[in-house]
Structure formats: structure tokens, C-alpha cells
Amino acid sequence: MNKLKQNIAWTFLDYWRGKEFKGEWPTFPELLKIQSYRFAKRPCFTVIEDKKITLTYQEVYEKVCKLTDWFIENGLKKGDHVCLAGKNSPEWAVTYLAILQASGVVIPIADSLHEAETINIIKASDSKFAVLDDEKIPYVKKNFPKMTIRNLNPTDSKNYVYNLEAKKAVKQNEPATENDLALIMFTSGTTGIPKGVMLTHKNIIADGYIAQTNLIINEFDIFYALLPIHHAYTMQAAFICPLEVGAEIVFGKTMAVSKLMKELHDGKITIMLGVPLLYNKLLAGIRKGIKEKGFIVAGLMAFLRGVSFTCKKLFKINIGKKIFKPVLQKANIYTLRVAICGGGPLAPSVFKQYQAMGLDFIQGYGLTETSPIIALNPVEHFKLDSVGRDFSPYEEIKIINADSTKDEHPVGEIAVKGPMVMQGYYKMPKETAEMFTDDGFLKTGDLGWMDDEHYIRLCGRAKNLIVTSGGKNVYPEEIEDAFQLCDDINQITCRGYYTDEEKTAEEIEVLIYASDDLYKRLGLERNPETMQPEVYEEIKKNVSKINKTLQSYEQISKITMLKEPLEMTPSNKVKRNFTAKTYDI
């Protein structure tokens, strides 16, 4: 194994061990106090409205202490659960930290959930408090009349979190230890009992620092928390990790292009977190601008991207940042030092184009049950087709139940063991036990393989696997990824379907929602009842083009057109337990 020299980001903690904390890793309150000493006057939380508003580390610490005292005076005991649901904001972050400083447990809830889903999670969480955005408060009050509820928004000044303070000095709760519960992260769902992933202070803090063995960050970085911060990926990579090094966090509240562009520009962002959908849209805009300059310019740009990528990959020389400076500046991403993609594998072709334009663009991999990061591509030695290198010796990853039907690499389920692995599912001992092997490895449910340098290649989810008549395994996610640069398709989902009554073998079907750009190009209006033949013919051409790049057993044999897009998760992945509204063709 050829492992690069790793960065050990947490050596500074040795100075504080025994002074501000006693364990292997600090808890959240201990870390925040340390950082308030180290970076008191440095920017911590920022929002960009009409103007840029920033709280320093010292100011954040003071607000957290004030809110902590209010929680304790109003009855929050060690281990009590507090629901937190709202858009990305400094108020959300301060509340999160105050709950933990009061030795409580945070229950992050997606702001985008519908009423029934929100109510279901609050019931399952056994929470005593809730801190919410305006729109959720009325129905939560109605369903939980005895619950203490407060507001993340200043519209309700009396209950606004920044205005809450204890009436007198309070006795602090017994401090949490690194092995105490910090978060329970629930899956959504309107019925049944949602699964709650239980994560300790150690799980989250350790994962944030260990992830930095593959990526150097520092207090001068400015992180962009654009994706929903309740989600494990954004929470760790754009909230916890920056706090661990004393960096600044700019909170984005919407994916609206004009707002995103302003925050990127005014915030002078150096590290951006995104999912494939976001980066595909951003790249589509860049490519469109280049195409509009004509065939000659587009051809020249393509040639220069090739030269730039070769220099970067083979000689470690980044000439792309200079060559493509005007392009990157127009997209407001020239200040980016690193762009990170998670939440699903990005097509290698997209990954390569960003790298060729001079951005240090890398992929990571993980799941909520692992706090969540378990692999990350190092900037200095990235691999286009990998979601990242593991963090050995600080974790162990192995491939279990591998078979040899996928090329020359045995593909199996990825399993992991390390300090970032969850304690289990809340009040679900049976489901918890099913997640672990006999020797204590967490089964991720993801299929893939790992090379000699410990870089992981994902193939797809085990439960989504399609088995053909020839006994070949087909991974739907790989087929979906092949369409990532297709401007005519807004959404594509691949699944198996049976052609015989005995249901002995599956063939490949794709469900497609055509893009607005395709309708515009064809001069048509979207018809909610009838699929226009011109649109279907263009989609068939796109599918035929991709089919030529796939193995014979992966060929798409059925196209189903969607009347409306399928519901997405907060990390912009299709919820596969869908009911689709489709056109008759």
C-alpha cells in the first residue's frame, strides 16, 4: 500500500488536554471554549443579506453560554432531547451548540419536511423542547401543547433564541463526556417509527478531525454551508470541521442562483460543499457560456482543459486556475481553494472538467451512521473514479461477501469500524444488531471495491441491485451517473423490470423527467397530460448514445417518461420508494 504522508490536525489538542478536557477527544462544549480562547476575534458565523453580518468566536461563545443558561433554568436536564428545525443560520448553529453545552441531545429535523413527517419524528424522539422556524411552530404547538417551543426567527422577539436569557444565575448541568450522546439523526417518514441514528460527542468530533488526514484546512478558510445543515454531510463538513480549526462559516439559506452567486462572491468562499446535482448545474452554466462564444472558442477551451488536466495530474502543476480565471470569476468560484462533492458519486467526466479548470475538486464518501465521513480524496493524489481514500490507521474498511461478476474487481458490501461509527438506532436493538457483522464492522449497504492504495469505488446500493437473465449484476446508480452531463434530462432513475411472468430475470428501465431546457430548445410547452413525440424522440437519442457506452447486459431497454419529478431527499437523491406519475406512450 502506497499511503501518502497524512496530516495530523489534532496535535494542538495535547496542549489543552488536562486543562480544558480530560478524554481522548473534547466534547462540543470543551471544543468551543478552547476555540473561543484561540480565535476570539476571528470570524465564526456569517450571513450575507443586504450586507455581511459576522459573529466572532468570542461572540458566538457568549451567545451559546447565554442560551445554555436559559435552557437549564427552564428545565433542560442532562440527556434531555431538543428538536431543532430551521433553515441554515447562525441562530440554528448557536442553538445546536447551546443544547450540547447544557448536556442535552440535539434532534436535527429537516426544514423541508412536511407537517406529518415532522410530527412523526418529534413523537419518536421523546423531545422536551423544540426550537423551530416560524412556519413550523403553529402545528407543533397544536400537536404538542405541553412542549416548550421557541423561535429561530426574530419576528417573534419574545421567543427569539438570541433574546432568551436566564433570570438569575443557574447551576450548570453535569458536563457531558465524549461518550455521551450528542445527536439523534432521524430518517423521515409519515408512518411507522423512523430510525434515529445515535451519535456521541466522540463520534462526531473524532470523525471531523480524522477526515482532515486527507485534507488540510485552517483558520483562514471560509466554508460555505449551502446545503441543509441538518444533514449529516453538511453538518460535519461545513459546520463541525470549520469549528475544529477555527475557520469562518457562511450560511446559505437557498439554492436560488442569484442568492448563491452573491454569497459566493461577497463571502469570498474558499471551501464549498455540494452534491452532484449542484455541481452538474454549475458546470452546465459554465459550458453554456463557453458554447455561446462560438465553435472556435469552445474548441480552444476544450484543448486547454486537456493540457491543464495533464499538467495537474502528471506534473502537479496547476495552470488551469490562471488559464480559466475569467470563466471561474464569472461563476464566482475563483476564490475556491477546494470544492468537495458528497451525497453520491459524481461522474468522472464532471470531476475531470472541474480539475482541468484549476479547481482542487475532490469527492468524499460516508453515511449518517458513520458521522458521516469515512473516505475522502486527497487533493494532492486524487483519483477521478474514486469517492475517496480511507483514513487508516484510524479506521478499518473491508469488503464483505464479494463476488467477481463486476469486471476484474470483486465487488461486495463496504463495511467499516472506527471511532466515527454510530452507537445504534434509537430504541431499535434488533435493527441495530442487523447493521453489524459478528466482528463489529458496520455494514454500509453500499456495494463497491477498494484498490491497493485504499481508494474506494462505489457501484451502488445493495438493495437496488439488478440481476439480469445472464446472472450479471447491474448497479442502477452507475447508469444514472452516465447521464449527469445530459442537459435534456432533469432527473433520471434506473430500476429493473421483469419481462417474464415467472420473474426470473430483470431488464433495465429508466424513468426520465425531461428538462425545461429541452422544451425551450424545441419551442414547446410542457403538457401535463400528453408526451409530445418530439420530446420523446430527443430523449431516445440521449438514451441510445449512453447505451453505446454500456456493457451489453447494462443496456437500457425501456424508457418511461415522468409527468413530474420524483420526490428527493434533503441531499438531492431520489426517494426510491416512489409512486410515479407517467405518460402513456
pTM of the entire predicted model: 0.86
Query: Which pLDDT value is given to residue 189?
Result: 59
Dihedral sign from CA coordinates of 452, 455, 458, 462? positive
Residue that is written with C-alpha cell 431520489 in the block: 574
pLDDT above 80 for 405: no
Query: Which pLDDT value is given to residue 1?
Result: 41
Please report which confidence band the pLDDT of residue 349 belongs to, taking 50, 70 and 90 as the band edges: confident
Helix (H) or strand (E) holding 56: strand 52-56
Encode pLDDT of 182-236 as tens digits.
999 998 655 678 999 999 999 999 999 999 999 999 999 999 999 999 999 999 9
Cell numbers describing residue 357: 479548470
Q: How far is CA 281 from CA 364, 494, 553, in A?
A: 19, 20, 30
Encode pLDDT of 303-338 as tens digits.
999 999 999 988 889 999 999 999 999 999 999 999
Please report which confidence band the pLDDT of residue 26 belongs to, taking 50, 70 and 90 as the band edges: very high
Looking at mean pLDDT, say which of 35-49, 179-193, 470-484, 490-504 comes out highest: 35-49
Which one is predicted more confidently, 123 or 499? 123
How large is the average pLDDT for residues 69-79?
98
Query: Which pLDDT value is given to residue 462?
Result: 82
pLDDT above 80 for 406: no
The percent of residues in the chain predicted with pLDDT above 90, rounded, is 76
Encode pLDDT of 166-175 as tens digits.
999 999 999 9
Encode pLDDT of 97-143 as tens digits.
999 999 999 999 999 888 999 999 999 999 999 999 999 999 999 99
Which one is predicted more confidently, 477 or 219? 219
What is the rounded CA–CA span in Å between residue 540 and residue 565? 18
Residue type, 151: N
Residue type, 434: E
Q: Taking Cα atoms as reference points, which of 105, 79, 78 lies closest to residue 197? A: 105
Query: Which pLDDT value is given to residue 469?
Result: 64
Q: What's the mean pLDDT when you consider all of the chain?
A: 92
What is the rounded CA–CA span in Å between residue 212 and residue 10? 9
